[in-house]
Amino acid sequence: MKRIGHYVDGSLVDGGDRVGPVWNPATGEQSGEVALASAGELDTAVSAAEKALPGWRATSLAKRQEIMFRFRQIVTDRKEELARIITSEHGKVVSDAAGEVTRGLENVDYCTNLMHHLKGEYSEQVASGVDVHSVRQPLGVVACITPFNFPAMIPLWMATTAIACGNTVILKPSERDPSAGLWIAERFAEAGLPAGVLNVVNGDVETVNAILDHDGISAVSFVGSTPIAETIYRRSAENGKRVQALGGAKNHMVVMPDADLDAAADAAVSAAYGSAGERCMAVSVAVAVGEIADDLVAKIADRMPQLKIGDGTDPESEMGPLITQAARDRVAGYVTGAEGEGATVVVDGTKKEFDGNGFFIGVSLVDHVKPGMKVYEDEIFGPVLSVVRVDSYAEAVDLINANQFANGVAVFTRDGKTARQFEFDIEVGMVGVNVPIPVPIGTFSFGGWKRSLFGDTHMYGAEGFNFYTRRKVVTTRWPEPSESQISLGFPTH
């Protein structure tokens, strides 16, 4: 049984007696056990980060950039290795895992130009003989609590930006697939990152609560479900921490009557069932506008039997299993309960049979879904695509804008005016036009609106640098001795 511990102050450590199981989702077999850190073990990691902070903060931007460049090359050269680690614990197919690493590296690329991103501002002669300038400085020790569905990409988004800004980091990966986070920490060490700058502490809710309450941690970044994101936001804020907590999603894909239905059907299948639907940007609702609904549903259904579902290490597999048996059973419950709510199950993936004990489920398509149904309201996080039929563009926009989630949305149309109006009207953080999964590239920032985000800043890109730094404004004057005088009036120009 593989033992997965922590990474503290530049070394792997086993951890204490509290452990949790790590599974191979494709076989249903336990592949290891992960140490679950206590508050005391977390405190040891925070102490290491605090010890490393002064030296890392004083490290030149040129040296930090050099480490980022070396780290990027190491990960690029060993991308396949990291992808297979992800697959072994998450279950997604290796090609998808490699894609995740590539998207994470986009942010590393962005961080290699940190001399530009950390520039301050300067104004001379704002008053007679007075100049003002601002600088960006790190927050201190920050915590990154990352989800199971992207065990490499999200750490590469969060921790890399935090480190580039001069902070030291406590990374708490998901206990379901913890090995990718440890691998990243070791590769950073290879690239020359000093001990204690990046520490990986594995754990569960007890560990998370200790992070939220720890006085030595200045900020918390989180990605996960909306209820947990809201809890983390409230508790972190109450403890005086800066916080960004990204929550759940219910991403809609609007298909207009003028859309290329074959392209729309291909996009819907790809975006709904990729990574078994375990993406916060997965399309979970297709909104069919007008009379195209029957044709769209038929085209999607025709494509579904062709999908190859199997072990993620099999090059022929296009979709792997869900992360746990509990997740598989939960997703199945939405499909089996849909007809009782008045929906029509067009393709029932729960009936598909698989060899072995893996956490597999087939892909499902549910038509005639309406707001108020559980299959519509909840974030299912599995390979289930719902179809909502509306009569008009305006009804589609109203439907989406009324939803509690506002992470991602897409519209498929051939009409530029409709696309432009959709971009203007829709109240969602990330919008795709004929792009079903509108995850921005690393030079922009990732994040939703409404109950998909708690906090003021999105992840990575410019907003990531804003989150992990604070501004200091300095006003300077160098008067002659003869100019000194007492004045109790408020300073003016």
- Residue 368, domain CATH: 3.40.309.10
- Helix 293-303 to helix 261-273 angle (10° resolution) is 50
Does residue 272 share a domain with residue 233? no
Look at residue 274 in the predicted model and tell me its pLDDT: 96
Domain carrying residue 373: 251-433
Q: In percent, how much of the chain has pLDDT > 90?
A: 94
- What pLDDT sits at residue 1? 82
pLDDT at 440 over 90: no
Return d(Cα 468, Cα 221) in angstroms, integer: 10
| pLDDT, position 171 | 98
Q: Give domain status of residue 333, yes or no.
A: yes
Q: Which residues on adjacent β-strands are paired with residue 390? A: 289
| Residue 125 is assigned to a structural domain of this protein | yes
**Same-domain status, 66 and 15:** yes
- Together in a domain, 336 and 457: no
Residues 6+ apart with CB under 8 A from 81: 183
Query: What pLDDT shows up at residue 491?
Result: 76
Same domain, residue pair 234 and 259: no
Residues 295 and 216 in one domain: no
Side-chain-side CA neighbours of 293 within 13 Å: the count stands at 18
Residues 184 and 316 in one domain: no
Q: For residue 224, name the pLDDT band (cuts at 50, 70, 90).
A: very high
| Domain shared by 90 and 198, yes or no | yes
At residue 101, the pLDDT reads 98
489 lies in some domain: no
Q: What is the pLDDT of residue 270?
A: 97
Say if 479 falls within a structural domain: no
Mean of pLDDT values over 390-418: 98
Question: Is residue 483 situated within a structural domain?
Answer: no
Pick the closest to residue 298 from 240, 355, 367 (CA basis). 367
Cβ atoms of residues 282 and 251 within 8 Å = yes
Whether residues 235 and 326 fall in one domain: no
What is the 3-state composition of the chain as percent helix, strand, coil, each rounded to the nearest 5?
Answer: 40, 25, 35
The domain total for the chain is 2
Q: Is 403 inside a domain boundary?
A: yes
| 350 close to 175: Cβ distance less than 8 angstroms | no
Q: Report residue 493's pLDDT band, with 50, 70 and 90 as the boundaries.
A: low
If one compares 459 and 287, the residue with the highest pLDDT of the two is 287
Question: Which residue type occupies 61?
Answer: L
pLDDT at 203: 98
Is residue 169 predicted with pLDDT exceeding 90?
yes
Q: Per this entry, what is the length of the chain?
A: 493
Q: Write 368-374 long-range contacts (CB < 8 A, 24+).
A: 368/342, 368/343, 368/344, 369/285, 369/338, 369/343, 370/342, 370/343, 371/399, 371/402, 373/338, 373/341, 373/342, 373/343, 374/334, 374/337, 374/341
pLDDT above 80: residue 366: yes
- In a domain, residue 481? The reply is no
pTM above 0.85, yes or no: yes
pLDDT of res. 319 = 98
Cα separation, 348 vs 422, in Å, equals: 32
CB-CB neighbours of 463 under 10 Å: 18
- 23-42: average pLDDT: 98
CATH of the domain at 73: 3.40.605.10
Distance separating alpha carbons of residues 297 and 377, to the nearest angstrom: 20
Phi and psi torsions of 305, nearest 5°? -65, -20
Average pLDDT, the chain: 96
Report the distance separating Cα 384 and Cα 350, nearest Å: 10
394 plus 465 within the same structural domain: no
Within 101-241, strands assigned E span 121-127, 130-138, 141-145, 168-172, 198-200, 219-223
Query: Would you list the DSSP string of 272-323?
Result: HHGGGG--TT-EEEEEEEGGGHHHHHHHHHHHGGG--B--TTSTT-SB---S
Burial of 361 (0-12, 13-18, 19+ CB in 10 A): buried
Q: State the CB neighbour count (10 A cutoff) for residue 132.
A: 15
Catalytic residue set = 280
Strand 168-172 relative to strand 141-145: parallel, antiparallel, unpaired?
A: parallel
Between 53-57, 135-139, 301-305, 482-486, the lowest mean confidence (pLDDT) is in: 482-486
Q: Could you tell me if 213 and 238 are in contact, meaning their C-beta atoms sit under 8 angstroms apart?
A: no
On the question of pLDDT at 459 being above 80, the answer is yes
